[in-house]
């Protein structure tokens, strides 16, 4: 996998300005060296997006549930367009990851977290192999046919809320998914 | 949802979350540690079944803590 955190350019559909790459480096430095300050900053920046989020109780035993995974770590397939990391408002779109994907085809299109671990093993962000083990062992009913990947670091999630998140929710309903586990970067 | 930024998650009103106190970039287990990834994912499933609206559980020091 390519690493957006290293010296080479991040995997983005548009070239990222040096100033934004510098901001990303500062964010990574804060995450590593002053995590408490980063937590405080992230909470302050994002609290305005608080809203009434629907709560859906689990209606079936886990052993009968079809499970899907949703991540915001910027994972994409090698033949998919990278996220556009250059835009100030963030890229709200998503990529579909098939349930039977070959993990070696996964790349990271993100620059606001340390991608070293997910580059070594995408299972830390998208644990499909483990989920398939759970289905084989009968811990869950089945694995959804489609899983969904978002870019994180979205300062303005308006389009995400209005368009893309509902699309993904509808896709999971269409796939008869009972339960989704969301993993952020 | 797994959270690595619990203060942000609380302020956003996320319906039910499991906090793993670890750096960003590694929400589920460690690289190459399938057993650890399985443990974390199983904890997520248990949390979904047990947590109520806007509740957050935490897994720290090999111990799972649910809100009382």
Give residue limits of the domains in chain B: 2-65
Task: Look at residue A143 in the predicted model and tell me its pLDDT.
Answer: 98
Task: Look at residue A2 in the predicted model and tell me its pLDDT.
Answer: 45
Confidence of residue A3 (pLDDT cuts 50, 70, 90): very low
pLDDT at A94 over 60: yes
**Tokens for A17?**
């300005």
> What is the rounded CA–CA span in Å between residue B51 and residue B68?
10
ipTM of the complex: 0.93
Going by C-alpha positions, the residue among B20, B15, B11 that lies closest to residue B39 is: B20
Chain A closest-CA separation from residue B18 CA (Å): 10
Using a 10 angstrom Cβ sphere, with 0-12 exposed, 13-18 middle and 19 or more buried, the burial of residue A178 is: buried
Confidence of residue A9 (pLDDT cuts 50, 70, 90): low
- Mean pLDDT value across residues A84-112: 93
Strands (E), A7-158: 66-71, 75-77, 94-98, 106-108, 142-143, 146-150
Confidence of residue A4 (pLDDT cuts 50, 70, 90): very low
Q: Is there a contact between B25 and A118 if contact means CB atoms under 8 Å apart?
A: yes
- Mean pLDDT value across residues A85-97: 93
Task: Look at residue B11 in the predicted model and tell me its pLDDT.
Answer: 85
Task: Look at residue A5 in the predicted model and tell me its pLDDT.
Answer: 45
Going by C-alpha positions, the residue among A13, A10, A39 that lies closest to residue A24 is: A10
Q: Is there a contact between B41 and A131 if contact means CB atoms under 8 Å apart?
A: yes
Q: Is there a contact between B34 and A123 if contact means CB atoms under 8 Å apart?
A: yes
> What is the rounded CA–CA span in Å between residue A123 and residue A149?
13
Task: Look at residue A92 in the predicted model and tell me its pLDDT.
Answer: 95
Task: Look at residue A75 in the predicted model and tell me its pLDDT.
Answer: 96
Model confidence pLDDT, tens digit, residues B17-61: 999 999 899 999 999 999 999 999 999 999 999 999 989 999 998
Better-scored residue on pLDDT, B61 or A150: A150
- Mean pLDDT value across residues A139-146: 98
Cβ pairs bridging A and B (under 8 Å): 130
Angle formed at CA B16 by CA B12 and CA B21, multiple of 5 degrees: 80
């Amino acid at each position: 996998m390519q690493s957006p955190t290293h010296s080479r350019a991040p995997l983005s559909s548009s070239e990222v300005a040096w100033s934004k790459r510098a901001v990303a480096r500062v964010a990574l430095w804060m995450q590593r060296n002053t995590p408490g300050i980063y937590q405080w900053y992230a909470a302050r920046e994002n609290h305005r997006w608080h809203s009434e989020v629907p709560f859906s109780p689990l209606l079936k035993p886990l052993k009968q549930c079809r499970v899907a995974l949703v991540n915001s770590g910027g994972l994409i397939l090698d033949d998919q367009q990278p996220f556009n990391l250059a835009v100030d408002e963030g890229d709200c779109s998503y990529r579909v990851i098939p349930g039977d994907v070959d993990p070696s085809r996964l790349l990271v299109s993100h620059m606001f977290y340390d991608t070293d671990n997910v580059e070594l093993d995408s299972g830390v962000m998208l644990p499909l192999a483990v989920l398939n083990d759970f289905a084989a062992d009968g811990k869950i009913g089945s694995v959804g046919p489609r899983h969904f990947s978002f870019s994180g670091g979205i300062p303005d999630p308006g389009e995400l809320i209005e368009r893309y998140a509902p699309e993904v929710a509808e896709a999971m309903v269409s796939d008869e998914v009972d339960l989704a586990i969301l993993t952020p970067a | 949802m797994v959270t690595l930024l619990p203060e942000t998650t609380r302020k956003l009103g996320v319906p039910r979350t499991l906090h793993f106190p670890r750096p960003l970039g590694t929400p589920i287990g460690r690289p190459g540690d399938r057993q650890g990834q399985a443990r974390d994912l199983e904890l997520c499933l248990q949390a979904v079944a047990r947590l109520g609206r806007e509740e957050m559980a935490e897994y720290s020091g090999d111990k799972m803590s649910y809100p009382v």
